[in-house]
Amino acid sequence: IATADKRRAPALDHGQTIHLHATEEQLGPTGEWTIAHDDDGLWWSHSHAKGDVALRGPVNGLLLATMRRKTADQAGLEVFGDTTV
């Protein structure tokens, strides 16, 4: 999601948040991430927080979708909330 190239806009617009939830039980709380773009830039945490959009599914699917290698549907993810994010 983050880019070192300041000429390109971040993939996540200012003020938006994404919640990722991996369905593998063995990951426990480390299988949840909140990604946000605020005045300080992009940041993430292992937290269960409401996002503008939430993606839920296998961790490999979450990675492929966030890296734009597959769509959420192709990656087998459930999507909740604002799909335009």
pLDDT, tens digit, for every residue of 20-77? 999 999 998 889 999 999 988 889 999 888 899 999 999 999 999 988 899 999 999 9
Structure tokens at 84: 């335009």
pLDDT above 50 for 2: no
pLDDT band at 84 (very low <50, low <70, confident <90, very high): confident
Q: Write the burial class of residue 77 (CB in 10 Å: 0-12 exposed, 13-18 middle, 19+ buried).
A: buried
- Report the alpha-carbon distance of residue 76 to residue 35 in Å, rounded: 20
Q: What is the pTM of this model?
A: 0.82
Structure tokens at 35: 């990604």
Pick the CATH number of 17-81 from 3.40.50.720, 3.90.700.10, 2.60.40.10, 3.30.1050.10: 3.30.1050.10
58, 33 contact by CB (below 8 A): no
Average pLDDT over residues 6-19: 79
